[in-house]
A and B are shown apart, each in its own frame.
Chain A
């Protein structure tokens, strides 16, 4: 059973379109992180959300943590080919500050 469910698994869009990626769980997380991974490289942290209902913006990327701290979303406005990559959500469960649990990832392709 996957603790963190990401959807969609694959997403192919045209440059300029908007998109949203979802990360859902039945468990409560003390914090959630979003990482981006490019082919042949390790994941790189984009953002950490800690407070229920928190919204963070990183240029054209908007991240939201659900009020109950069980879900998160990543919204990209006016996607560009440089946004192409694997987006991974990951969370620290309550009482487990050492271990991150990862979702399976969303592979995004932005076509010019």
Chain B
């Protein structure tokens, strides 16, 4: 099992450019998440999905869009990148729990710099 993989690992964008970050998981997990991590800020939830075809806003959704067309993939899009979106982005997945606080499995992260 590869677990959770993220593509790309690094990216540099110019202000106004667009890009898509891809997250894939091979654990058949129902829930998937996108976080951003900034120095001194911990992890902040951008968007999440509780199943194929569903998405919901997290704590900091502005400037981002997501899609979950297939259960194993969760895409994060930036339509018009801004320097404030310079960050490390983590994808995570989690099994359906029925109330049990199951572990979230994280990918290795994507380091994005917006100039």
Contacts and interface: CB of A to CB of B under 8 A. Distances in A.
B41 A104 contact: yes
A93 to B, nearest CB: 11
- Report the contact-size class of chain A (Cβ under 8 Å from the partner): 20 to 34
A42 B107 CA distance: 6
B50 A98 contact: yes
Contacts of B97: 97
A45 B104 contact: yes
Contact of B101 (A33, A40, A102): A33
A44 B101 contact: no
Given A9-B40, A102-B43, A105-B42, A41 B103 contact: no
Interface in A31-56: 31, 33, 40-45, 48, 50
Contacts of B101: 30-31, 33, 48, 50, 92, 97
Contacts of B31: 98
A72 to B, nearest CB: 13
Contacts of A59: none
A43 B33 CA distance: 13
Contacts of B107: 42
Interface of B: 4, 31, 33, 35, 40-45, 48, 50, 56, 58, 90, 92, 97, 99, 101, 103-104, 106-109
